[in-house]
Amino acid sequence: MGLLDGKVAIVTAAAGAGIGQAAARRFAQEGARVVVSDAHARRVQDVAEAMSREYGSEVPALAVDVRDAEQVRRLVEATLKQFGQIDILMNNAGINRLVPVWEMDEETWRLVIDVNLTGTFHCTRAALPHMIERKSGAIINMASVVGWFGSGDGEAHYAAAKAAVMGFTRAVAAEVGPHGIRVNAIAPGLIYNEFLERIYPKEFFERFVSRVPLGRAGEPPDIADVALFLASDLSRYITGEVICVSGGAFMGP
């Protein structure tokens, strides 16, 4: 038996090379029926088809821009139509653009805030009525250590969004706890995937790893395993928490 047998999970931004796909696969390995969504229509279809073959059951794919509340609403409706329930929501969609704050235009600010924060709001709001009706559910939000500690790398917008996700997580956890719903967040340190090389210079990775006590950058499965813990009954008495996963680079706010 798997930890998530009989559960239905939605994972946003699940078609990239990073955390979202790793979590979707980890959930499926533990018996969940997983709906993968991503803003990239072709890529999400490719990932869903590969997962369907690998796990022997259909993995639905939906192209969703989490900034669009109507697209998010359709994601929730399609999941309920196919599976009849939503037990787990992982708000993984995120984006970052490195720009010093004095050079940042409003378009860049809004893009990063809207994907990371407003998208988390849209998905949470859409899923909660069903979870409240069933008196059950687990929501996992993606924060970041920069939400606690800031950054000197041109990430003011990203740090602001991730700090807000932490506050949002705690507030929603307090609101929906009486309905049997748990809401937690994960704050990763550096979790490497090849796409990050388009955002950060090589020296960023070298500098970060040099101060990690465990001696390496994190990998997507490191976060997926924590997400599994938060999605499962293993964390049944945990809500409103932000769990740091950084190899010891950040030991508490």
The catalytic residue positions are 158
User: How many helices (H) does the chain have, and how many strands (E)?
Assistant: 9, 7
| 133 contact partners, CB below 8 Å, separation of at least 6 | none
Cβ–Cβ < 8 Å for 187, 243:
yes
Q: Return the axis-axis angle of helices 106-113 and 156-176, rounded to nearest 10°.
A: 30
179 by Cβ neighbours in 10 Å (0-12 / 13-18 / 19+) ranks as middle
In the numeric block, which tokens belong to residue 201?
């210079």
Strand boundaries in 101-249, DSSP class E: 137-142, 181-188, 242-245
Beta-carbon neighbour count of residue 100 at 10 Å?
A: 11
- Give residue 92's identity as a one-letter amino acid code: N
- For residue 141, the cross-strand partners are 91, 185
Cβ–Cβ < 8 Å for 184, 203:
no
DSSP conformation letters of 42-90: HHHHHHHHHHHHHHTS---EEE--TT-HHHHHHHHHHHHHHHS---EEE
Q: What is the gyration radius of the CA atoms in the chain, in angstroms?
A: 17
